[in-house]
Structure 1
Amino acid sequence: MLIKQYPFYLKSTVILFGVSLFVMVLYMLADLLVPLGFSILLAILLNPLYNKLRHFKINKVVAIALTLLGLVIFIAAVLYFLSSQMIQFGDTLPALKAKGGQIIIQIEAWIQHTFGMSIQKQMQLLNEAANNNKGLVGQTIGSLFGLFSVLFLIPVYIFLLLFYKKLILNFLYEVFSEENTQSVAEILNQTKTAIQSYIVGLLIEALIVAVLNAAALFLLGVKYALLIGVIGAILNMLPYIGGIIAIALPILIATVTKDGYGTQLGIIIAYSVIQFIDNNILVPRIVSSKVQINALISIIIVLLGGALWGVSGMFLSIPMVAVLKIIFDRIEDLKPWGKLLGDEIPTQHMGQIWKLRRRKKIVA
């Protein structure tokens, strides 16, 4: 039977249309897919604890409830720690506000002297910017309400995913032909291992970075070193981008609470050293799982995830690509894409290999 061959431009057009349609669906269903994505990651992470409870012959519903209780206790402990530190931070807000007002006056005078812009003109521009950002404030409030809905949905999703785990796994096995059962089992096992190692490694990395940040800020004499160090570690969980954002907060606090600029320079140097340690020691040895995504793809995927789903997309992008790489590596036609996502650099250019093979054929 002859298989009809379509021209390349037609096939590429269909593929691009399909990808565009898929991305549009992801964007439109963000409110549904984002909490579901986090729930799947957390359900895979909590699965060993659930299995251990089931091993002790505990009822399925009770085991899931205890598993979720452990997650809630952990999150509550982190929030309690942050809130206790924030209370101390709030006690000195009047002093920070007064010092900040003095700095703003100095900046206004510097702008007036350097650029010849009057203070009234500066205030007019600030008011216009504030009016333009009213819509952004409304979006932020809407995002907060969305956050509360997500926090409600995630435990429900986790409960149902663990409860119907066997049903979902049986569906994945039965939807493929019997000869592919072994490949499906390997993909599911590698996916579970990759996600678990990634999330656990991310938490360990965040703990180490928080300690390093807090120690550096404490030695530099920056107020609220522990709180700022922990916030910086949480922001650092955003791959490649969070570390840059995290440095702004301690510099701002140092600018408001200290005279001169020596402390700010020390913060930049200390955070640069911590980022070097994090990127070259912690991430390769702690966060890395069996699936390696190269830096170029990671940066592109994180930015695309942010454009698609915001901050949530940045967090979800790396695990999603790791799962895609596992699938690509198991499908013969998609292996080149799996290699593109990975960080294994070939020792010889394929073009050279093809030339050698062609020469051998000509000689033969």
Structure 2
Amino acid sequence: MKDMPLTVRRSIELLGLCLLGALLVLGQGIIMPVLMAFFVSIMLLPVYRFLRRKKVPEVLAILLPILLVAIFIAGIIWFFSSQISRLVADFPSIQKNVSIHLSSLSDWINQKTNFSTQEQVKFLKDQSNKMFTNAGAMASGAAVSLSSVFVFFGLMPIYIYLFLFYKNLLLRFVFIWFEPSQHKKVEEVMKETEVIIKSYLIGLVIQIAYITVLLGGILMLIGIKHALLIGVIFAILNLIPYVGALVGNLIGVLLTLTSSQEIGPIFIVLGVIALVQFLDNNILMPRIVGSKVRINAFAAILGVFIGGSLAGVSGMFLALPMIAVLKIIFDRADMFKQWGVLLGDERPQKSPMSFLRLRRKSDKVTQEIQAKDDIKPTKAKK
């Protein structure tokens, strides 16, 4: 492939990206559970290896970690459902608070515009009729989504078991795929991928726990109603990079608004969420994950949105670990090194328009950028 013209190689790369995206769209029901199971099985590898060192039978050493994951997920679901039941129990007071807020909003609209109360009521009635007209389609869509969720989580334990059971077979397949001269790089990619995925996923589990405790605990001490529910919703949504935090803020505001007749608690909730986010992003999460693969914000945000459009919520959640794995592969393949540069955050302080060395693919230039973000210019040949 190195003998091909540059334009042909670039065309093949872009065509491969398009085919990969089409494959994800068409086969997301099959691919996403497999990818999720692959990442979770890597996270469970240390437990599996520990049990095998203790002479535990292989089948039992695989089933026990899967059982621990199932218990953990069941605990989250139980906690979440208990908080939802408390919210439902407060429905009469929520209905009363919503009526007060809607009345205040209606008065404000009357003062600022010529939109009368009767026109507002007519508008709401029309929108309600449209909503009920589409209720059947929405209900059927929700039923399909719910069934796909059950299929997703029903297949995952099977895939995790098979990944752990056949891991040596899969590793042999990967090594046979490459020439012996490339096996050293393949081994480095595998080891670094395992470290990145384990640190990322285990860090997310710890992140759910401390955000729920920290955010929910502070709001509870202040006296905000449904504090733990706000904490657990924000912690779970925060797993989706960038977008999840925005939606979590919105839900926190709505829950506070429906639980209080005043506006002040909303600003308290937003302030506490901002404080917890600052601690999470700048102090806690970097120390917990400590990832060596640094992805720039532009690639991360774009990857989250592309993952969401291709494969829904699961695609948004898996976007960052997938980009991290791709960057590891790209950095070690001479053919795709430019894609690794595009995903990384090794940002040179000088422009490649003036500093010719920055136009090169060499590892030495990349290391110099990482070391001091400065490059000495290279004189152009006459």
TM-score, length of structure 2 as denominator length:
0.86
User: Structure 1 residues 334-343 or 189-198, which shifts more?
Assistant: 334-343
Distance in 2 (CA, whole Å) between partners of 1:340 and 1:5 is 22
Which residue does the alignment assign to 2:77? Answer: 79
2:378 paired with 1:357: yes
Which residue does the alignment assign to 1:53? Answer: 51
Task: Indicate if the aligned counterparts of 2:97 and 2:261 stay in contact, CA closer than 8 A.
Answer: no
Distance in 1 (CA, whole Å) between partners of 2:241 and 2:3 is 45
2:34 to 33, 36, 40: 36
Which residue does the alignment assign to 2:308? Answer: 306
Shift of 1:274: 2.1
Task: Indicate if the aligned counterparts of 1:108 and 1:122 stay in contact, CA closer than 8 A.
Answer: no
For the aligned residue pairs, the C-alpha RMSD in angstroms reads 2.3
2:62 to 46, 61, 64: 64
SS where residue 357 of structure 1 aligns?
Answer: coil
- Percent identity, please: 36
Which residue does the alignment assign to 1:330? Answer: 332
Shift of 1:310: 1.0
SS where residue 353 of structure 2 aligns?
Answer: helix
The 1:118–1:54 alpha-carbon spacing in structure 2 relative to 1, beyond 3 Å, is closer
1:254 to 238, 253, 256: 256
1:230 to 219, 229, 232: 232
Shift of 1:109: 5.6
Distance in 1 (CA, whole Å) between partners of 2:129 and 2:34 is 40
Which residue does the alignment assign to 2:242? Answer: 240
Shift of 1:309: 0.8
Distance in 1 (CA, whole Å) between partners of 2:343 and 2:301 is 12
| Residue identity in the other structure for 2:38 | I
Distance in 1 (CA, whole Å) between partners of 2:93 and 2:82 is 19
Distance in 2 (CA, whole Å) between partners of 1:317 and 1:196 is 15
Task: Indicate if the aligned counterparts of 2:101 and 2:261 stay in contact, CA closer than 8 A.
Answer: no
The 1:12–1:4 alpha-carbon spacing in structure 2 relative to 1, beyond 3 Å, is closer
Equivalences for residues 126-205 of structure 1 within 5 A: 126-132=128-134, 134-205=136-207
The 1:293–1:204 alpha-carbon spacing in structure 2 relative to 1, beyond 3 Å, is same
Which residue does the alignment assign to 1:281? Answer: 283
User: Structure 1 residues 71-80 or 312-321, which shifts more?
Assistant: 71-80
The 1:344–1:297 alpha-carbon spacing in structure 2 relative to 1, beyond 3 Å, is same
- Cα deviation per residue 1:339-364 (whole Å; 9 max; x = unaligned)? 221122224333333284344x33xx
The 1:12–1:135 alpha-carbon spacing in structure 2 relative to 1, beyond 3 Å, is farther
- Cα deviation per residue 1:127-167 (whole Å; 9 max; x = unaligned)? 22443464333222211110001111000000111110110
Shift of 1:11: 5.5
SS where residue 241 of structure 2 aligns?
Answer: coil
SS where residue 293 of structure 1 aligns?
Answer: coil
- Please, which runs of 5 or more residues in structure 2 have no aligned partner? 358-376
Task: Indicate if the aligned counterparts of 1:222 and 1:253 stay in contact, CA closer than 8 A.
Answer: no
User: Structure 1 residues 27-36 or 223-232, which shifts more?
Assistant: 223-232
Which residue does the alignment assign to 2:369? Answer: none
| Residue identity in the other structure for 1:297 | A
The 1:109–1:348 alpha-carbon spacing in structure 2 relative to 1, beyond 3 Å, is closer
Task: Indicate if the aligned counterparts of 1:35 and 1:154 stay in contact, CA closer than 8 A.
Answer: yes
Count how many residue pairs are aligned between Structure 1 and Structure 2. 358
User: Structure 1 residues 146-155 or 57-66, which shifts more?
Assistant: 57-66
The 1:56–1:12 alpha-carbon spacing in structure 2 relative to 1, beyond 3 Å, is closer
Shift of 1:110: 5.0
Task: Indicate if the aligned counterparts of 1:45 and 1:199 stay in contact, CA closer than 8 A.
Answer: yes
- Cα deviation per residue 1:220-260 (whole Å; 9 max; x = unaligned)? 32112112211111111111111111112232222222222
Task: Indicate if the aligned counterparts of 2:34 and 2:156 stay in contact, CA closer than 8 A.
Answer: yes
Which residue does the alignment assign to 1:103? Answer: 101
Task: Indicate if the aligned counterparts of 2:94 and 2:258 stay in contact, CA closer than 8 A.
Answer: yes
- Please, which runs of 5 or more residues in structure 1 have no aligned partner? none
2:223 to 204, 221, 224: 221
Task: Indicate if the aligned counterparts of 2:230 and 2:255 stay in contact, CA closer than 8 A.
Answer: no
Shift of 1:123: 0.7
1:25 to 4, 23, 26: 23
